[in-house]
Amino acid sequence: MELAEVADLSELVNSISNSGWINYEPLIALPDGTVIEGNRRLAALKVIRDPRLQELTGLTPPEDRNAGSEPEAITVNVVPDRTTAREFIGFKHINGAFKWDSYAKARFAHDWYRETRDIDEISSKLGDSHSTVTRLVNAYAVLRAAEDHGFDRRDIEKRNLYFSHLYTALPSPSVRRYLGIEAPVSQILTSESVPEDKAPELKQFMTWLYGQGSKAAVVRTQNPDLGKLVAVLGNPRALDALADDGELRVAYEMVEDKADVFAKAIRRLRSASIDAMKILSSYEGDPDVRQNVKDVFENVDVIASQVERRYKRARDSNSEGALQQND
């Protein structure tokens, strides 16, 4: 039942039902029968065979099923222990043909660390840097903490949980202050690293990242929204504004560097004017274009006079400061 709730079995059930079971990749299990690799495939096979499970999970295979969708036997590789299984699975999914997404990789690394407490060994085996594995493990621990405090991965806004949002944002000082995480970035976190009294902030942060129930996520795309959220979390006024109305754009306006925004706008204006110059000969007398050009000219004229005035004021101020230092 748990796999039916947290994993998308419907697609796998339909695929096996329509195409039949292809015995290309053995399941991996321990001698006691615990399946280490292939749980989703095994669960899908059980659902296809068992009407009771179909009723419990709400998953209904197609009536016209492929004859090979209910195999009498499947191949299973039995390994002596989890360490042996882990090295094989890690190579196949992280360095091999069946690559995991970042969430699956983080969960695998987190579980491995809980047993070995050796990030260097895990990094070496997975082929990632020490800092990358630390970020993955820490993000997974924080996700587990959020789930302990009521965040539900099954109730997020989008179908997929973009785990990179979390592991990218988590090292930021503003995020760690907001969540009350006092450990340095290089230290491995646990689900207890976020203090109990910060549980509301943790759930709110996850909701801003992914949405929850009827509440929409404010991070629509990682670039630029995630950076904006990180900046807002470091500014109390902007943070209050985001908490009040949920508008990331409005909250970010309180913290963005207006001088930098102006400089970028001018660069875009210059680039657009160059592009227009290149194709000026294509203008054929459209009156709307003529009016737009007049509007641009008037705006640029105002901008130019203000820039010149402020440039001279800044230059004179700097000159006076230099003279005072010489005195």
Across the beta sheet with 35-37, the strand order is: 35-37, 27-29, 76-78
Q: Among residues of the chain, what percentage have pLDDT more than 70?
A: 91
How many Å apart are CA 327 and CA 325, to the nearest integer? 5
- The answer to which of 49-53, 86-90, 111-115, 213-217 has the lowest mean pLDDT is 86-90
Over residues 130-159, the pLDDT tens digits come to 999 999 999 999 999 999 999 999 899 998
**Whether the predicted pLDDT of 1 surpasses 70:** no
Strand partners, 77: 28
Over residues 28-53, the pLDDT tens digits come to 889 999 998 888 889 999 999 999 99
Cβ–Cβ under 8 Å, residues 230 and 224: no
Residue 97 pLDDT grade (very low, low, confident, very high; cuts 50, 70, 90): very low
Over residues 204-244, the pLDDT tens digits come to 999 999 999 999 999 999 999 999 999 999 999 999 999 99
Cβ–Cβ under 8 Å, residues 33 and 94: no
**Backbone angles phi and psi of 36, in degrees to 5:** -90, -35
Task: List, as one string, the DSSP characters of 250-287.
Answer: HHHTTTS-HHHHHHHHHHHHHHHHHHHHHTGGG----H
User: Which residue reads 């207890």 in tokens?
Assistant: 192
Q: Compute how many other C-beta atoms are within 10 angstroms of the C-beta atom of residue 13.
A: 25
Task: List, as one string, the DSSP characters of 190-246.
Answer: -TTSS-GGGHHHHHHHHHHHH-BTTBPPS-SSIIIIIHHHHHHHT-HHHHHHHHHH-
Using the 8-state DSSP alphabet, how is residue 149 labeled?
T
Q: Which of 157, 131, 160, 156 is nearest to 146 (CA)?
A: 156
Predicted TM-score (pTM) of this structure: 0.64
Q: CB neighbours of 91 closer than 8 A, spacing ≥ 6?
A: 125
Q: Where are the domains of the chain?
A: 1-79, 258-317
